[in-house]
C-alpha cells in the first residue's frame, strides 16, 4: 500500500481498509494545525491507487466500507474524483460505504447533481473539520471559509443525501471570544443538521502559529474549567438530533447517539465536572496529547 506520513484516519470509522487518494492538505494554514506542514499536497497518481486497490482486492475482496485519505480528497474536481470511485467499485464490487474527510470549501466546485452521482458510487459519509460556526473565530484561526459557506455547502450535502459530520474545536477562539464561538457554532451546526457532531479541545502544539501568539500574549488560551464552560454552552445551544461524540479530557463518557434525548444528562455531567472535576489531571492529559 502507498501511504505518505502522517497517516491520519478517523478512529470512529473502520480503520481498514484505507486508501490514499491525495496527500497533504491544500490549505495548510489553519493556525492550530501542523499535521501536514511538511507534506506537499498532491493527488495520488491513479497507477498507485490502482496498485493499492489490486492489493485490497486480494486481501479484502468482500470489503463493504473504505476510508479515503488524506486531509481533503474532495478538493479534486468531480471529473477527477469520480473515476477513483469507479475504480473502487471495479476492484471491490461489494463496497457500500465510502467515507472521507474534507474541507467545507472543497464542496464549492460541485453541484448537487454531481454529489448525488458520487453518492450512487458509494460516497455516503463526509467528515467536515468545521471547527467553528462563528465568523470572527473562523477568520481568527484562518480556516478559509465563512459561516455562510458552511450553511450553503452543507445544504448541498443534505440535498444530495450524503451524511456528514461536523467538528467543534473547543477553546480555539481563546478567552475573549469563547461564548460567541460556542453559541454561534451551535446555531450554525443546528441549522446544518449533521448526522454527527464531534468535539475536541484545543491543544497548542509546538510549531503552531496559535502557540506563538499565545507566547507573545496575543492569544489567551482557556483554562480547563473555561473549556468545560464553553463546551457546556455549546451543548446548551445545540438543537439538532445528532450522534454526539467527544474526546474531551473529562473522564465521564459524554458520547453516544440521540443527542437531544441525552442533552440534559450531558449538561448535568458537565456541570458536575465544572464544579468538582480534577482540572490538574485534565491539564496533564492535554499536555500529553499527540494530536487534536
Residues in touch with ligand SF4 (CB under 6 A): 25, 27-30, 33, 35-36, 71, 103, 129
Evaluate whether 235 touches 266 at the Cβ level (below 8 Å): yes
Buried b (16+ CB within 10 A) or exposed e, 48-59: ebeebbeebbee
CB of 75 to ligand SF4, least distance (A): 10
* CA gap 228, 202 in Å, rounded: 12
Helix axes 78-91, 46-59, angle to 10 degrees: 30
Q: What is the number of residues in the chain?
A: 292
Task: Please report where in the chains the cell 443527542 appears, as a residue.
Answer: 259
Please report, to the nearest 10 degrees, the dihedral formed by the alpha carbons of residues 250, 132, 28, 2 taken in order: 60
CB of 236 to ligand SF4, least distance (A): 26
CB of 166 to ligand SF4, least distance (A): 13
Please identify, using beta-carbon distances, which residue of 81 and 91 lies nearer to ligand SF4. Answer: 81
Please identify, using beta-carbon distances, which residue of 129 and 194 lies nearer to ligand SF4. Answer: 129
CB of 169 to ligand SF4, least distance (A): 9
Please identify, using beta-carbon distances, which residue of 36 and 168 lies nearer to ligand SF4. Answer: 36
Please identify, using beta-carbon distances, which residue of 128 and 266 lies nearer to ligand SF4. Answer: 128
Please identify, using beta-carbon distances, which residue of 35 and 227 lies nearer to ligand SF4. Answer: 35
Give the residue from 62, 68, 94 showing the smallest Cα distance to 9. 68
Amino acid at each position: 500500500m502507498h501511504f505518505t506520513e502522517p497517516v491520519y484516519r478517523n478512529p470512529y470509522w473502520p480503520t481498514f481498509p484505507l486508501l490514499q487518494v491525495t496527500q497533504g492538505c491544500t490549505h495548510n494554514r489553519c493556525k492550530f494545525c501542523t499535521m501536514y506542514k511538511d507534506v506537499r499536497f498532491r493527488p495520488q497518481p491513479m497507477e498507485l491507487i490502482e496498485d493499492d486497490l489490486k492489493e485490497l482486492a486480494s486481501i479484502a475482496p468482500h470489503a463493504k466500507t473504505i476510508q479515503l485519505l488524506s486531509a481533503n480528497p474532495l478538493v479534486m474536481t468531480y471529473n477527477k474524483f469520480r473515476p477513483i470511485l469507479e475504480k473502487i467499485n471495479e476492484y471491490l464490487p461489494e463496497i457500500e460505504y465510502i467515507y472521507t474527510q474534507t474541507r467545507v470549501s472543497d464542496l464549492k466546485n460541485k453541484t448537487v447533481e454531481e454529489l448525488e452521482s458520487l453518492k450512487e458510487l458509494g460516497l455516503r459519509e463526509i467528515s467536515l473539520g468545521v471547527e467553528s460556526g462563528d465568523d470572527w473565530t473562523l477568520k481568527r484561526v484562518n480556516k478559509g471559509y465563512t459561516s455562510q459557506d458552511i450553511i450553503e455547502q452543507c445544504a448541498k450535502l443534505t440535498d444530495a443525501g450524503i451524511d456528514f459530520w461536523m467538528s467543534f474545536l473547543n477553546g480555539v477562539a481563546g478567552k475573549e471570544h469563547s461564548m460567541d464561538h460556542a453559541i454561534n457554532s451551535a446555531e450554525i451546526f443546528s441549522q446544518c443538521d449533521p448526522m454527527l457532531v464531534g468535539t475536541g479541545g484545543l491543544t497548542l502544539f509546538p510549531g503552531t502559529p496559535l502557540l506563538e501568539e499565545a507566547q507573545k500574549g496575543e492569544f489567551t488560551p482557556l483554562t480547563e474549567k473555561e473549556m468545560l464552560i464553553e463546551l457546556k454552552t455549546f451543548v446548551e445551544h445545540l438543537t439538532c438530533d445528532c450522534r454526539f461524540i467527544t474526546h474531551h479530557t473529562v473522564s465521564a463518557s459524554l458520547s453516544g447517539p440521540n443527542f437531544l434525548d441525552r442533552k440534559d444528562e450531558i449538561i448535568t455531567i458537565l456541570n458536575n465536572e465544572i464544579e468538582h472535576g480534577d482540572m490538574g489531571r485534565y491539564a496533564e492529559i492535554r499536555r500529553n496529547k499527540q494530536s487534536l
